[in-house]
């Protein structure tokens, strides 16, 4: 499949689906975009969603390729339609085929759709100014001068960050749901809560690590958080080997 935004060949990723099925999605790593055929994203297993989070985390600090001004559906070649939606209180957007062949969504917007990203509070912005004078917008990559603004002057996106509580709860739940032949466990809520706290503690340690401020400066708050998520997931995978 050809990427609608840059014209290069997309990578096909075969993932686990529900009930023993497989789902083949297409992604463009330079553009940081997913193409989902109709209903594909709903068919992904918990383990498949974790795989997508790993992929996003690995590319979080890399710049996005320049995009075409009129991206078209890779199936029917009609112009894709900008679509705005909302997940709880979090707005997100994507490009959809007018004939419902599928949709194209950026990595960051996919995370917004999953309610994984939230705007910074005024106090958090003030605290950030003490350490970082300029930060890159997580949505478009433009520089934001924190001395004069708390939103991107290019695309208007407010400063946002990875929601660590949501990340901890979601990763813990996905890892638990992906366990093969898991028995019914009355202690599951307590185990999920313990796993969530372990994830949050691990992410918090990354925020105080030597790489954190450098990651924030290069990739923005969302990029730094995603990189921390990717490192944590890799460490967990290494422990299980």
Q: What DSSP letter does each residue of 89-155 carry, written as one string? A: TEEEEEEE-TTSSEEEEEHHHHHHHTT-EEEPPHHHHHHHHTT-SEEE-TTT--EEETTT-SB-TTT
Half-sphere exposure (CA, 13 Å, Cβ side) for 127?
Answer: 7
**Rounded to 5°, angle at Cα 135 from 51 and 156:** 85
What pLDDT does residue 15 have? 92
- Which helix (DSSP H) or strand (DSSP E) does residue 220 occupy? helix 212-240
- Sites in the chain below the pLDDT cut of 70: 60-69, 139, 164-189, 191-215, 217-219, 229-241
| Whole-angstrom distance, CA of residue 39 vs CA of residue 32 | 20
What pLDDT does residue 83 have? 94
> The pTM is what?
0.72
19: left (phi over 0), alpha (psi -120 to 50) or beta: left
Are 118 and 163 within 8 A, CB to CB? yes
What pLDDT does residue 96 have? 96
If we measure between CA atoms, which residue out of 235, 108, 219 comes closest to residue 171? 235
What pLDDT does residue 36 have? 95
If we measure between CA atoms, which residue out of 33, 35, 30 comes closest to residue 62? 30
Kindly calculate the radius of gyration of the chain based on its CA atoms and give it in whole angstroms: 18
């Amino acid at each position: 499949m050809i990427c609608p935004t840059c014209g290069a060949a997309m990578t096909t990723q075969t993932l686990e689906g529900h009930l023993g099925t497989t789902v083949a999605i297409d992604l463009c790593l330079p553009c940081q975009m997913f193409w989902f055929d109709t209903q594909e994203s709903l068919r992904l297993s918990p383990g498949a969603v974790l795989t997508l989070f790993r992929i996003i985390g690995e590319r979080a600090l890399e710049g996005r390729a320049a995009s075409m001004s009129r991206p078209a559906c890779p199936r029917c070649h009609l112009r894709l339609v900008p679509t705005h939606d909302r997940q709880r209180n979090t707005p997100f957007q994507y490009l959809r085929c007018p004939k419902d062949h599928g949709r194209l969504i950026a990595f960051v917007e996919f995370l917004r759709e999953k309610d994984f990203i939230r705007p910074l509070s005024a106090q958090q912005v003030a605290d950030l100014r003490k350490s970082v004078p300029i930060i890159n917008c997580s949505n478009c990559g433009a520089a934001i001068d924190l001395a004069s603004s708390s939103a991107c002057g290019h695309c208007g996106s407010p400063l946002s960050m990875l929601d660590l509580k949501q990340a901890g709860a979601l990763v813990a739940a996905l890892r638990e749901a992906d366990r093969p032949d898991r028995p019914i466990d009355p202690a599951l809520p307590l185990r999920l809560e313990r796993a969530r706290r372990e994830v949050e503690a691990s992410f918090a340690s990354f925020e105080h690590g030597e790489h954190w401020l450098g990651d924030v400066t290069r990739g923005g708050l969302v990029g730094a958080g995603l990189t921390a998520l990717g490192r944590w997931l890799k460490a967990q995978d290494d422990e299980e080997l």
